[in-house]
Amino acid sequence: MQITNIGSEKGYFITKEGKTIPLAKYKDKAKYKSGDKDQIIHIPDLILIDFGRNEVINIEGKKYKFRKDGISELNNYDFIEQNYIPKILPKIQNFTYCCVIWKYRKRNY
């Protein structure tokens, strides 16, 4: 399984060979700057690639109180799947979506 880290201010694919491919943040930056928020490219926090199953696993991480937002965000990855995955990984055809929920609690010992 190849791990490709996406969750940062600037997203990147890291290929199986170690090549770094930067991801755009906007479909059309000029349209975005003029107010068209639909130009934002939604990027999951983490993409795992299972080459044995030809599968991409899109993972969105959220705090427990924002879990519903995370589940909703799973519907926003069409641009990545249609414009990046086929160019980088043409054999990939299966997509799985996950929302990882976490809660932070400080322990006082």
pLDDT for 39-53, tens place per residue? 998 888 888 888 888
The pLDDT score that the predictor gives to residue 2 is: 45
| In the predicted structure, residue 37 carries a pLDDT above the cut 70 | yes
Which strands, in side-by-side order, build the sheet including 2-5? 2-5, 46-50, 55-63, 94-102
More confident site: 13 or 2: 13
Read off the pLDDT of each residue in 78-103 and give the average, rounded to a whole number: 88
| In the predicted structure, residue 3 carries a pLDDT above the cut 60 | no
Read off the pLDDT of each residue in 1-21 and give the average, rounded to a whole number: 67
* Residue ranges covered by each domain of the chain: 2-102
Q: What is the DSSP letter of 73?
A: H
The confidence band for 9, taking pLDDT boundaries of 50, 70 and 90, is: low
The gap from C-alpha 92 to its chain's centroid, in whole angstroms, comes to 15
pLDDT tens readout for residues 65-76? 999 999 999 999
